[in-house]
Amino acid sequence: MAKKKLNIGLIGCGFMGKAHSNAYLKVGKFFDVPFEPVMKVICDSNAEKAKCFGDNWGWQEVETDWRKMVARKDIDVVDICTPNNTHREISLACAAAGKIMAMEKPLAMDAGEGREMVTAAEKAGKPTMVWFNYRRVPAASLAKQIIDEGKLGRIFHYRAKYLQDYTISPDVPQGGDALWRLDAKVAGSGVTGDLLAHSIDMATWFIGPMARVCAMTETFIKERVMAGGDKKMPVTIDDACAFLARFENGALGTFESTRYACGRKNQNTFEVNGEYGSLAFDLETAHELEYFNHADPISVRGWRTIQTWDSKHPYMKNWWVPGCGIGYEHWHINALADFLESLGSGKKLCPDFRDALGTQIVCDAVLESAKKEKWIAVAKP
């Protein structure tokens, strides 16, 4: 049966624009989703880039002015893949135009912007989603199921790391196409908003909201040249951040992130310790979930490695046979399949703008704590 079409307009032809375009292209091939996403309009202020990108990924039309695209009556969903300092303005225009929104993380530059965006989106009454794609790694979704089934019992500890090394050289410039994440005026913050936002999203999805945080940050390289020039300017992002958290349910959390961990490319880990057992995960071996069950007979008790590629594991019935894994591109496709499902069923999708605001509020509290060198209470989204 022909499916109802959903016209997509995507803004931004960078790394995330590519990951999302691929998801729109493939989701219907692997998932029986209730809508057929139509790749209607690709938008980027650079006309040549937009044209090449559009031709490569099969977008029907190209636009260079996002305002024109948002004003079009035939666009149902606007997917925002632009740098963080544009999220607020674009999303307010989308809300005013009554668009469904899919937003690349983090939601905004800070919680103040985030609140304004949530208010506008909720007033417009159209569904929203934020692409925290690591929730859609089968092993992470399985961890969520195990925690929700009560198999770990009361949660005592949550431990997360998100480590990279791509800014270790002082010669890496700040700003520009690929490196705007190093420019605080464009990104809002450094590793806190870019990487720890993923860890905070995952932690609060698993075990609930945080009550208080205490953080430290560091900027190791104080000056870098601006992209396209030779003038050195102060670096104002946090290169590294570590923080302690007290969760509302009494659990204790430790979080660490840096772009200066030589050899770590995208190591995103969590460990959860509860009264009946523990779970551990590392994105660099993403198909594995480590599970320790204290109720196992003592003679065989130990950490077991669950290889999450059986059809019974989350999302895997839509993919390959056991042993043939999935990766970064597929997690985005999984996320999009969930989004389309939620649009069909009308059930709230997590994370939406309000959930992502919760993460943004924690990021702000972390940065404030590091600045003031004291514990900060986490406000309600």
CA distances from 270 to 36, 203, 245 (A): 35, 8, 14
Nearer of residues 164 and 189 to ligand SOE, judged by Cβ? 164
Residue ranges binding ligand SOE (CB under 6 A) = 164, 181, 194, 198, 266
Q: How far is the CB of 349 from ligand SOE (least distance, A)?
A: 19
Min separation Cβ 178 and ligand SOE, Å: 10
Smallest distance, Å, CB 190 to ligand SOE? 9
Distance (Å) of CA 88 to CA 110, 120, 285, 361, 363: 10, 10, 35, 15, 17
Of 190 and 253, nearer to ligand SOE (C-beta) is 190
Instruction: Tell me whether residue 99 or residue 198 sits nearer to ligand SOE (CB atom).
Output: 198
Residue 87 in 3-state DSSP? helix
Task: Please give the DSSP secondary-structure letter assigned to residue 73.
Answer: T
- Residues paired with 9 in a beta bridge: 41, 78
Tokens of 145: 């199921």
Which residue's CB atom is positioned nearest to ligand SOE? 194
Q: Using CA atoms, how far apart are residues 173 and 188, in angstroms rounded to an integer?
A: 17
The amino acid sitting at 308 is: T
Residue closer to ligand SOE (CB basis): 137 or 357: 137
Burial class (CB in 10 A: 0-12, 13-18, 19+), 58: exposed
Which residue's CB is nearer to ligand SOE, number 40 or number 105?
105
CB of 168 to ligand SOE, least distance (A): 13
Render 150-185 in DSSP notation, one character per residue: TTT-SEEEEEEEEE--TT-STT--BSSTTTGGG-HH
Least separation in angstroms between CB 159 and ligand SOE:
19
Nearest to 355 by CA among 143, 201, 251: 201
Burial 67-102 (b: 16+ CB within 10 A, else e): eebbebeebbbbbbbbbbbbbbebbbbbbebebbbb
* Shortest spacing between CB 15 and ligand SOE, in angstroms: 6
The burial class, CB within 10 Å (0-12 / 13-18 / 19+), for 209 is middle
Of the pair 190, 381, the CB lying nearest ligand SOE is at 190
Question: Given the DSSP bridges, would you call strands 240-247 and 252-258 parallel, antiparallel or unpaired?
Answer: antiparallel
Q: Least Å distance between CB 74 and ligand SOE?
A: 31
Query: In angstroms, what is the minimal distance from the CB of 266 to ligand SOE?
Result: 5
* Min dist. Cβ of residue 356 to ligand SOE (A): 13
The span from the CA of 258 to the CA of 313, in Å, is 31
Kindly tell me which of 82 and 164 has the beta carbon lying closer to ligand SOE: 164
Whether the CB-CB separation of 338 and 131 falls below 8 Å is answered with no
Nearest residue (CB) to ligand SOE, 53 versus 134: 134
Comparison of 16 and 378: residue with beta carbon closer to ligand SOE: 16
214: amino acid identity, one letter: C
